Structure 1
């Protein structure tokens, strides 16, 4: 069994270190060029149409508001990866890893925009008259690759079982260490809370995330900014390290073992890809339920979500551990606790530990809720609505089992299954580049440059989806 697990781990590490990283980065660059650098040229428009429209009442067709779709998708990415994953990347790749996270995010904006765009174009209504969509729909409808769409849905549905286990275990471990809570109690509480959310469907998930996610993100950023502000004098040296050591090796210091350019590149890219999930095809599932008058308008939230997730939240976490010097004090084996140590330097040991634990609890609960919704939609696509309810129960059971630390051998398949999911989405996405570019050009002409009025946009969507 140990030999088998080691083989799985080696294959997963190889795939994520070389082939998948190359495909995602190269694919993001290709889509960026194909879209004529859309995410950079129209970033001001993106902000105006996303954060600038949060409180606007939308009367377009859809199940939830554009902002609720955004916060639901963000809930599945913002959390442990941003708070814990970034320090791990810095401990293994050095400060330069943060630079490569930024690079991945900037090109990943085009990837996430593209997959949401196609999901909105090819979405449909289910038997409950709710809008559903995602890669499985545009792969089948646009390319006719039914077996690939089935593979995507199947691998994602299965992958979310170990994914929920890992998420719930991270919280059970944190609460046991911080508050001495039995893992069984944590597991039961999480199951009850998550069930209350997911049994209300995407509408209830949207109502929960649009209140909790902004509050959690803003509060976390506020504490990060306080710690960074106290150590403001360290920022010039920190930014110098980030840019210099993205291209040059850095020697060992304290608990830091040193890192070469390849390590900075490898861990920066890996964490960047993991943090925003651009190319994985999960976010479009939530965005497909949004009210919108043009696929591109909702896809703008994809660009903004990558910006918030990686450029803002991951950067804040990275700067906290760099300005406080925690990255030098803590070795790679204890890197997951680095953010706690960084906060403790300015806020005290008790507050730092409790703050991180409490916020991870809220982040992970919303994350699991959205992941379960994603899994249900795959079961619905493959089978029917009854199967979706059945998978919901499987995922909730997985939350409890994961909290206890059970079935850990299943966790070994997480990265491998993610690789299959990603390949099932990113390759079809690149094949549809002409359609992505055409839809984007249409939006630029109709809306950004205002060559036609709003009614023309509405007619375009109605005719296109007929």
Structure 2
């Protein structure tokens, strides 16, 4: 058995039905215990997120970043190649009905990500004068397990900081080479330089960068997708019919074009949805931990919007481009399927459009994933480990553009699964604390009464 086959067999176990049910089940648990907070407080979440968008905000400093900057840093990680390649893979392997199950995973994922943000807010520490936090901190302080905390820290550094960022740089290099015929290694060096210039400024510069890039990046892709969908508007209603019908009768939904079962539709929809919005994975809490808010639940509500934007908007638009243009029946797979949809809509410019989107999506993900890894380097070794980690990340970025990414993809999946396990154990172990904070927010803070958790 070769190395790839061995890793694939391990991932088949790690990412099997048990893991998917573990992830979705955690979301269901919090949704029920929070009494469907993602529905009851969605309007309030929107207000918390965008209400003060144009008001003067404090600049990021050692005490943290603004709530909106925390969200854009989280979205920078969430909106990436998974929105282009992941959605296409789900549709190709699970049929149009997989999109419905992606929505289901996003809905319950809102409950999980709310809990992650609250726990991250409650368990921050100052490391060499700077506020930092994340699952390693709430696993150690809240769950009381230093071993699981260190295990999480190591796996996320490898999964995101090294393997994950190699995958991202590889995706950028391949798309740039296809669109502009630029050698991969040249693209890798340019990416490393750009990333280095940003991350050397720490969370202050990272937050300022994502705050400016993410709205433009998402807006560019959303507008492009809407143009294509409107161009094929006669297929919008049939596309939604395929999604809903395909969720429970996949083969009939496409007239037999894609021969899949309900099980495959569910599996790929749930899996790709969770990979995209990262709910329960333990990545985005690093950004939400350092948000400067008066009550932890405020950032919990803001974290909702990351899932809404990622799964509810960007993933949905990608799926509709694929379905309305008919590219889903082309026989292509992964990012090529999305590429085909944009080529049908924009002609030759479709290749350039996707290359530009992939560049900014992946660049923003690299920067956020770097920061998430940095928070765990601080946990393990303090600030003295950051210089080595920073240099290693930049080297891995360049290496990622020069090697076959298949092994790296598989290793990234392995370490992703390993980091999820301690995070979910902590979330389930501290469900009562999350409920107490949420109830305090609704009963006291919102009514201007004395609040136990108000900062």
TM-score strictly above 0.5? yes
Once the two structures are superposed, residues 115-173 of structure 1 have per-residue CA deviations (whole angstroms, 9 ceiling, x without a partner) of 1101001112221x221000111111112111111111111112221111111111111
The 1:354/1:13 distance shift into structure 2, 3 A limit, reads: same
Say which SS state the counterpart of residue 125 (structure 1) adopts: strand
Q: Distance in 1 between matches of 2:168 and 2:180?
A: 18
Partner of 2:365: 367
Closer, same or farther: CA 178–438 of 1 in aligned 2, 3 Å: same
1:204-283 paired onto structure 2 within 5 Å:
204-250=205-251, 256-283=257-284
Q: Give how far 1:379 is off.
A: 1.1
Task: Map Cα deviations across residues 49-74 of structure 1 (whole Å, 9 max, x no partner).
Answer: 11222223456994211111110111
Query: For residues 102 and 44 of structure 1, what CA distance do their matches in structure 2 show?
Result: 19
Residues 401 and 407 in structure 1, CA contact (< 8 A), matched pair in contact too: no
How far apart are 1:406 and its partner, in Å?
Answer: 6.0
The alpha carbon displacement at 1:451 in A equals 4.8
Scaled by the length of structure 2, the TM-score of the pair is 0.95
Q: Secondary structure at the match of 2:401?
A: helix
Partner of 2:151: 151
1:384 aligned to 364, 382, 388, which one? 382
- Give the secondary structure class of the aligned counterpart of 2:54: coil
| Alpha carbons 2:23, 2:424 under 8 Å: kept | yes
User: Secondary structure in 1 aligned to 2:444?
Assistant: helix
Tell me if 1:13 matches 2:12: yes
Paired residue secondary structure (2:51):
helix
Task: Give 1:298-309 correspondences, 5 Å limit.
Answer: 298-309=299-310
Q: Distance in 1 between matches of 2:372 and 2:448?
A: 37
Structure 2 partner of 1:190: 191
* In structure 1, C-alpha distance between the alignment counterparts of 2:84 and 2:408, rounded to whole Å: 24
Aligned positions of 1:339-378 closer than 5 A: 339-349=338-348, 351-378=349-376
1:329-380 deviation line (CA, Å, top 9, x unaligned): 2333xx321222212222212x100011011111111110111111111111
Give the drift of 1:443.
0.6
Structure 1 pair 81–144 and aligned structure 2 pair: CA distance change class (3 A): same
- Separation (CA, whole Å) in 2 of partners of 1:50 and 1:252: 38
Q: Measured at CA, do residues 244 and 191 of structure 1 come closer, stay the same or move farther in structure 2, by a change above 3 Å?
A: same
Cα shift readout 1:261-294 (whole Å, capped 9, x = no counterpart) = 1111011001100000000111010111211111
Give the corresponding residue for 2:454.
Answer: 461
Q: Shift of the alpha carbon at 1:446?
A: 2.3
Q: Residues 59 and 368 (structure 1 numbering): CA distance in 2 closer, same or farther, change over 3 Å?
A: closer
Alpha-carbon distance in structure 2 between the residues aligned to 1:93 and 1:440: 36
Structure-2 residue corresponding to 1:89: 90
Q: Is 1:393 matched with 2:386? A: no
Go from structure 1 to structure 2 and tell me whether the alpha carbon gap of 1:5 and 1:32 turns closer, same or farther (over 3 Å shift). same
Cα distance in structure 2, aligned partners of 1:409 and 1:84: 17
Q: Give ranges in structure 1 of 5+ residues lacking alignment.
A: none
Once the 2 structures are TM-superposed, how far is the Cα of residue 14 of structure 1 from its aligned partner? 2.9
Distance between the aligned counterparts of 1:316 and 1:438, measured in 2?
Answer: 37
CA shift at 1:251, angstroms?
5.5
Q: Distance in 1 between matches of 2:75 and 2:113?
A: 12
User: What residue ranges of structure 2 are gaps of 5+ in the alignment?
Assistant: none
Cα distance, 1:37 vs structure 2: 1.0
Q: Quote the Cα distance in structure 2 between the aligned partners of 1:278 and 1:437.
A: 18
Describe the SS at the equivalent of 1:404: coil
Whether the 8 Å contact between 1:376 and 1:389 is mirrored in structure 2 is no
| CA deviation after TM superposition for structure 1 residue 3, in Å | 3.2
Q: Distance in 2 between matches of 1:239 and 1:411?
A: 31
Q: Is the 8 A contact 1:198 1:205 kept in 2?
A: yes
Which sits farther off after the overlay, 337-346 or 351-360?
Answer: 337-346
Distance 1:311 1:91 in 2: 19
User: Contact conserved, 1:130 with 1:289, CA < 8 A, in 2?
Assistant: no
| More off after superposition, 309-318 vs 12-21 | 12-21
Q: For residue 212 of structure 1, report the CA deviation from its aligned partner.
A: 0.8
Does structure 1 retain, via aligned residues, the 8 Å contact 2:437–2:453?
no
User: 2:337 aligns to what?
Assistant: 338
Distance 1:408 1:264 in 2: 24
Residue 51 in 1 paired to residue 34 in 2? no
The count of corresponding residues between Structure 1 and Structure 2 is 452
Aligned-residue RMSD, C-alpha: 1.9
| 1:52-109, Cα deviation, whole Å (9 max, x unpaired) | 2222345699421111111011101102111221111101111000000000000000
Instruction: For 1:221 and 1:407, locate their aligned partners in 2 and report how far apart those are by CA, in whole Å.
Output: 28
Is 1:101 equivalent to 2:93 in the alignment? no
